[in-house]
Amino acid sequence: MDTIYFYDPRRGEFCFLSNLHPRPLVFAGTEYDTPEHAFQVEKALSPRMKNWLKQAPTPELAAVAGDALTEEETVPDWANICVEVMSSIVRAKFDGAEDLKQCLLATGDRKLAECSPIDGEVARFWGEYQGQGENRLGKILMALRAAYRSEK
């Protein structure tokens, strides 16, 4: 099985797979600039931090700020719910953009893997670094692709 590796949210044929891809979406009744903004807002506990993350000028900045939240600043039980939250956000992204949905379906049966150029715990959880990692984002995307196929 061929693998589609993606990372850069602004360049390349598969940039749309990145959560940092600059495409607005509506999640839980709120519009966000990117899925990354939505994810980091969901992670934050305080309304003030949620507001800051929602308005972060770039998804990269939202990600860095969200990753820096302390345990006290993070929604309780986040480690156990973050994949479910991400799945819901990714679904909202593709449900709200028929063109992106068709691009996702056009990836066929290929494995989808976020391929980080920098090693780290977050990189290996959501994607892969040098072929190693849990690739949770890729698995979410592949499951969504399969769900869309079964809905036809």
- Which residue in 77, 18, 8, 6 sits closest to 42, CA to CA? 77
pLDDT at residue 152, rounded to an integer: 76
Task: Write down the pTM of the prediction.
Answer: 0.95
CA 137 to CA 151: how far, in whole Å? 21
The conformational region for residue 108 under phi > 0 = left, psi -120 to 50 = alpha, else beta, is: left
Per-block mean pLDDT, blocks of 10 residues, the chain (152 long) = 92 96 97 98 98 98 96 96 98 98 98 95 95 97 98 84
Could you give the count of Cα atoms lying within 13 Å of 29 in the half-sphere of its Cβ? 0
CATH architecture of 3-151: Orthogonal Bundle (1.10)
Largest CA distance in the chain: 45
pLDDT at residue 113, rounded to an integer: 97
The pLDDT tens digits for 119-138 are 999 999 999 999 999 999 99
On whether the CB atoms of residues 19 and 90 are closer than 8 A, the answer is yes
pLDDT at residue 104, rounded to an integer: 98
